[in-house]
């Protein structure tokens, strides 16, 4: 981890003393960057209590990077919020803390204490209940407790069908419910930010980015990411065709199961029992981008919670999931 810690410190230094780019961003990335910055500034100007969801993954980290850029020389005028499921990869927590400290940002870490007390365990209770209690319920608790009127999320429209229809400024009623049939028309870059007491808006500044855009931007703008995205020898168990990494002692192996060291990496990050690894040799960002160009499997395929049925993400979103 010392490697990544050094990398994060030198990354943070560039916001204190910005240097001109040596090579221009690709034109389409420059356009996406400008659009995201525009969206973030609208939120900062129009809401009283915005917050930025930070999930530690690559999309979130790009979103945070854009926020650092949008408000420089000021700091982003809102806190970060991490909904900690207690089952994330250990490397994620370390990365989060190092990044927040180096950038001098406030990060609120929220745990659904009721779920902690009930000892919700994805291995025992299954992915659906775990996600509902630790992620969705935890998120709603945190948003209510903070009385946030706007919450940034790192969702992209290319991730999943129901996201493709969601607005950039997505209205939620006082119970945090999304009504896909009653969305506000969203024209030009003129966002309707008006809400009543208790209502809120979820804001998706990365709506128009694709997974490849994200990776190419991380490469071109040198953004640090959690080392789990890079290939490395890691202990994994194959379950139902998915490689699960044994990240801590809470994972009990079935009789006959043994953890094998394999060279793997992760295309998305979340709770380790629910996140499948892929075998890969991609050790650098360039490798990852090249792998992306030839990859034939979409990233959500690594997320076990989407597999039950095609409409499952839309259901979760209506219930308040990001």
Partner 1 sequence: MTATVTPASTQRAALLDRLTRAGERGVLRFITCGSVDDGKSTLIGRLLYDSKMLFEDQIRILEKDSRVHGTAGENEIDFALLLDGLEAEREQGITIDVAYRFFNTEKRKFIVADTPGHEQYTRNMATGASTADLAIILVDARRGVLTQTRRHTYIADMMGIRHAVVAINKMDLVSHSRARFHEIVSDYLRVAEELGFDTITPIPISARYGDNIFTRSANMAWHDGPTLMEHLESVETDAAEAADHAFRMPVQWVNRPNLDFRGFAGSIAGGRIAPGDEIVAAQSGKTARVARIVTADGDLDHAEAGQSVTLVLDREIDISRGDMLADAKARPDVSDQFAAEILWMAEEEMLPGRTYLLKAGGQVTPVSVTTLKHKLNVNTFEREPGVSLQLNEIGVCNLSTSRAIAFDPYAELRETGAFILIDRFTQQTVAAGMIAFSLRRASNVHAHAMDVTKGRRAELKGQRPAVLWFTGLSGAGKSTIANLVEQKLAAIGRHTYSLDGDNIRHGLNRDLGFTDVDRVENVRRIGEVARLFVDAGIIVTCSFISPFRAERMMVRELMEPGEFIEVFVDAPLELCMQRDPKGLYRKAQAGEIKNFTGFDSPYEAPQTPELHLKTADMTADAAAEEVIEQLIRRGMIG
Applying the rule CB under 8 A, the residues between 80 and 139 that interact with partner 1 are none
User: Out of 1, 13, 31, 174, which residue is the one contacting partner 1 (CB under 8 A)?
Assistant: 31
Contact set for partner 1, span 48-87 (CB under 8 A): 68-75
- Please count the residues of this chain forming the interface with partner 1, following the rule CB under 8 A: 80
Considering the complex, state which of residue 97 and residue 199 has its C-beta at the smaller distance from partner 1: 199
Quote the least distance from Cβ 248 to partner 1, whole Å: 22
Which of these segments, 87-95, 100-108, 222-230, 310-318, binds partner 1 (CB under 8 A)? 310-318
232 touches partner 1 by CB under 8 A:
no
User: How distant, in Å, are the alpha carbons of 42, 211, 214 from that of 267?
Assistant: 31, 10, 12
Considering the complex, state which of residue 101 and residue 173 has its C-beta at the smaller distance from partner 1: 173
179 touches partner 1 by CB under 8 A:
no
**Bond into 32 cis (ω within 30):** no
User: Out of 5, 7, 26, 123, which residue is the one contacting partner 1 (CB under 8 A)?
Assistant: 26
Name the pairing type of β-strands 260-265 and 278-279.
antiparallel
- State the Cα–Cα distance between residues 96 and 101, nearest whole angstrom: 9
Quote the least distance from Cβ 229 to partner 1, whole Å: 13
User: Out of 42, 84, 137, 149, which residue is the one contacting partner 1 (CB under 8 A)?
Assistant: 42
Quote the least distance from Cβ 74 to partner 1, whole Å: 4
261 touches partner 1 by CB under 8 A:
no
Which of these segments, 3-11, 114-122, 158-166, 245-253, binds partner 1 (CB under 8 A)? 158-166
User: Out of 5, 94, 259, 289, which residue is the one contacting partner 1 (CB under 8 A)?
Assistant: 289
Asked if 60 and 53 touch (Cβ cutoff 8 Å), the reply is yes
Quote the least distance from Cβ 93 to partner 1, whole Å: 27
213 touches partner 1 by CB under 8 A:
yes
Which of these segments, 3-11, 93-101, 115-123, 177-185, binds partner 1 (CB under 8 A)? 177-185
User: Out of 5, 44, 109, 111, which residue is the one contacting partner 1 (CB under 8 A)?
Assistant: 44
User: Out of 165, 174, 175, 253, which residue is the one contacting partner 1 (CB under 8 A)?
Assistant: 165
């Amino acid at each position: 981890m010392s490697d990544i810690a050094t990398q994060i410190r030198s990354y943070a230094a560039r916001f204190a003393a910005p240097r001109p780019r040596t090579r221009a961003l690709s034109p389409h990335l420059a356009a996406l960057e400008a659009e995201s910055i525009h969206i973030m500034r609208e939120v900062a100007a129009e809401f009283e209590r915005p917050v930025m969801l930070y999930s530690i993954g690559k999309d979130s980290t790009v979103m945070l990077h854009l926020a650092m850029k949008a408000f420089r020389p000021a700091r982003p005028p809102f806190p970060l919020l991490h909904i900690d499921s207690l089952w994330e990869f250990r490397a994620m927590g370390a990365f989060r803390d190092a990044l927040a400290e180096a950038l001098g940002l406030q990060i609120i870490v929220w745990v659904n204490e009721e779920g902690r007390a009930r000892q919700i365990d994805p291995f025992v209770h299954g992915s659906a209940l775990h996600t509902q209690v630790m992620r969705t319920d935890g998120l709603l608790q945190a948003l209510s407790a903070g009385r946030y009127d706007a919450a940034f999320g790192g969702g992209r429209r290319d991730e999943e069908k129901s996201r493709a229809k969601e607005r950039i400024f997505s209205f939620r009623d006082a119970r945090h419910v999304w009504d896909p049939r009653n969305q506000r028309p969203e024209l030009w870059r003129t966002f309707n930010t008006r809400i009543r007491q208790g209502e809120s808006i979820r804001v998706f500044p990365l709506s128009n980015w694709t997974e490849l855009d994200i990776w190419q931007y991380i490469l071109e703008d040198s953004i640090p990411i959690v080392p789990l995205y890079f290939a490395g020898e890691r202990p994994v168990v194959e379950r139902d065709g998915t490689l699960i990494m044994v990240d801590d002692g809470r994972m009990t192996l079935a009789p006959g199961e043994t953890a094998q060291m394999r060279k793997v990496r992760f295309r998305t990050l979340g709770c380790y029992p629910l996140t499948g690894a892929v075998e890969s040799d991609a050790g650098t960002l360039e490798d990852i981008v090249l792998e992306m160009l030839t990859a034939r499997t979409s990233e959500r395929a690594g997320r076990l919670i989407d597999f039950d049925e095609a409409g499952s993400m839309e259901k979760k979103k209506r219930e308040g999931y990001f």
